[in-house]
Structure 1
Amino acid sequence: MVSDTSEALVSEQEQPVDQPAGPTAEPDRADTDLVIVTGLSGGGRSTVARALENVGYYVVDNLPQTLLIEMAELAYAAGGTARKTAMVLDVRSRAFSTDLTGAVKALRDRGFHPRIVFVDAEDKALIRRFESVRRAHPLQGDGRLSDGIAAERDLLLDAREQADVLIDTTHLNVNQLRSRVEEMFAGEDARRLKVTALSFGFKYGLPPDADFVLDARFLPNPYWVPELKELTGRDEDVSKYVLGQHGARSFVETYARLINATAPGFEREGKRYLTVAVGCTGGKHRSVAIVEELARRLREVRLSATAQHRDLGRE
């Protein structure tokens, strides 16, 4: 269960431990894996927190921002499993401050390397979610639901801009969001670049969290081939059809080389997550097949890459 306090960390810190025979160097604070989760109410912070807990993080929910440094130091001192700690911040906390930038800088000045995960969604999706549970927005007051969402967006503008990971949950269900977070944070070197190859349909809008946007609509559409229309880009027949078209494989190879060539630079600059979005008309055939092949090519050159399909199943 996600915890609201730091009691477990304190208890772990107080437990006696066996002392090694010889002197050992004090662990580096940079080795403490800190994740800060924030974002819009209704965007999916709780789901992100549970997913992080599933992959071994100690999760502290609704932490006042003023306690960030204290919590980080507790995690560092406790050691063991507490070295992987996620802290969830949101406007429910009366101590919430707009100066997340300053708080993160203070952590870095102490030697920590926190990662910020920001969850977002379109207003219409947030409104639908609040109405489905018949709950008021924390900043709504006597105004409308849309007023509370607008106020929160303003409050979190700086936090969104400095996020290491931006996840738009407009078109993600709970299981898709959980799976995406678990794939990002499970069992990988925290400093290694992780690439998400994401298919989407242009008719549903551009993914706002994309770093690169590629257009696969130059390829013939399998939708117009009767025996392929009801299949998807994950099916072998569709994949062979798409990748067999003139220019398809060189398209994948070109961008695979580009990503592989730029990955070391991104890592040196501290970027840990890269989203490469590939679009076609509906996100069912061409983009799905291209994304699956692109992720496979990137794994062949030993990059950490996963395939995600935003709009698959919407048609």
Structure 2
Amino acid sequence: MTGNNRKHVLLVTGLSGAGKTTALKTLEDIGWETIDNFPIRLVEGLLNTPPSSSRGDSDPPLALGFDSRTRGFDPDNLIKRVKKLQQNKNFLISTLYLDCAGGELERRYGETRRRHPLALDRPAKEGIALERSQFEPLRRWADHVIDTSDLSANDLQRQIREEFSLQDTDITTVTITSFGFSRGLPNNIDLLFDVRFLSNPFWDEELKPLTGLDEPVGAYIAKDPAYAEAIEKFEEMLKFLLPKYIKAGKAYVNIGIGCTGGRHRSVHVAEVLSKNLHAAGFSPTVFHRNLASRPMDALETMQDLNGNKGI
């Protein structure tokens, strides 16, 4: 994640109800020091404060949570302050933004009967819209975004553990996400590979109910004439770029592999690339966003990039 002598500071923010509390609690469980609703203007002083003597010689990475309730919160001023802090070579500062669809946030507030902090005397929908507009600069600027719309608390905890584990903290965290274009792009992709040009197992009635984790599906995809060369070129590019990202101190590299529905080709290719990158000395984590999604013919009826039925 970081250089050997740089302290990692993760700023955790996002929409109220999107999962900040869960994220911070999970980070604490895996060894991070966490502080919620800490005034951002005091961060520089905090970073220059020696760790507590009760921790011995350890100085764990620090996660600071803040949202619209935090004293002195202003997205534009916050970005300016963080950019200034990033000039300090002793720290590696990154931002985790937790997003969520408005309808899902309304449902969560309805279930808990809590009031939205920006809509104490109004419908939650209005507070959610106002907060989203206020946070838009931060969302655009954040280097790591997790959309929790379709995630349970356990799903979010698992993803936080995978992305922010303190094991191998001197290595950039590499994540490979398979997904379906028809179900929307992931929010935090740095490198994107579109594999819709490969033969689609969806149109084989025996393979349709299976996924890219099943051997018959992988064998079907691998028969495509373009498959072997494509995998080779994807690997060449990643083996060229990843060391440069690591050298530059980039904390996270998120690789997206997309097909149409996100259940066959992208899943298989993500698994193959992960296996080959592991063999090359990297340690990517694989996340299959749409693996459990229900097969839908309507999503697969567009034209392939090569003109064949079944992207």
Answer yes or no: same fold by TM over 0.5: yes
1:86 aligns with 2:86: no
What corresponds to 1:39 in structure 2?
14
Change (3 A) 1:173 1:242: farther
Distance verdict in 2 for CA 1:299–1:63, change over 3 Å: same
How much has 1:116 moved relative to structure 2? 1.5
1:96 matched to which residue of 2? Answer: 73
Q: Map Cα deviations across residues 215-252 of structure 1 (whole Å, 9 max, x no partner).
A: 22222222232332222111222222223322223222
Tell me, yes or no, if the aligned pair for 1:37 and 1:89 is still in contact at 8 Å: yes
Partner of 1:117, secondary structure, is strand
Matches within 5 A, 1:90-129: 90-98=67-75, 99-110=77-88, 111-129=90-108
Q: CA deviation at 1:178?
A: 1.7
AA of the residue aligned to 1:42: G
2:146 alignment partner, SS class? strand
Other-structure match for 1:204: 183
Q: Give yes or no for contact 2:31–2:166 (8 Å, CA) kept in 1.
A: no
1:15 corresponds to which residue?
none
Deviations 1:154-200 (A, max 9, x none): 32233223323222222332222222221222134445332211111
2:37 alignment counterpart: 62
- Structure 2 vs 1, CA of residues 251 and 54 (structure 1 numbering), >3 Å: closer, same or farther? farther
CA distance in 2, matches of 1:62, 1:248: 49
Deviation at 1:89, TM superposition (A): 1.1
Q: How many percent of aligned residue pairs carry the same amino acid?
A: 35
Partner in structure 1 of residue 304 of structure 2: none
**Residue 251 of structure 2 is aligned with which of 261, 266, 272?**
272
Alpha-carbon displacement from aligned partner over 1:73-93 (angstroms, at most 9, x marks no partner):
335565644432211111122
Matched, 1:263 2:238: no
CA contact (8 A) 2:143 2:188 kept: no
Change over 3 Å in CA distance of 1:203–1:109 after alignment to 2: closer
Do the aligned partners of 1:58 and 1:81 also contact (CA within 8 Å) in 2?
Answer: no
SS in 1 for 2:208: coil
Which stretch of the first structure deviates more once superposed, 171-180 or 299-308?
A: 171-180
The answer on 1:178 being equivalent to 2:157 is: yes
In structure 2, what is the Cα distance between the partners aligned to 1:276 and 1:144?
38
The answer to whether the 8 A contact 2:179-2:257 is kept is yes
**C-alpha distance in 2 between matches for 1:72 and 1:229:** 53
Q: For residues 152 and 187 of structure 1, what CA distance do their matches in structure 2 show?
A: 32
**What is the rounded CA distance, in whole Å, between the counterparts of 1:209 and 1:168 in structure 2?**
9
**CA displacement 1:270-302 (0-9 Å, x = unmatched):** 422122212222211111111111111222222
Contact preservation (8 Å) 1:39, 1:119: yes
| 2:295 is the counterpart of 1:306 | no
Shift of 1:57: 0.7
Which AA in structure 2 matches 1:207?
P
**Aligned pair 1:157/2:157, yes or no?**
no
**Alpha carbons of structure 1 residues 160 and 191: separation in structure 2 relative to 1, 3 Å:** farther
> In the comparison of the two structures, how many residue pairs are matched?
288
SS of 1:83's equivalent?
coil
**1:60 counterpart SS class:** strand
Mapped to 1, the partners of 2:125 and 2:65 lie a distance apart of: 23
Structure 1 stretches of 5 or more lacking a match? 1-27
Q: Does 1:139 align with 2:114?
A: no
Equivalent pair of 2:174/2:255 in contact (CA under 8 Å)? yes
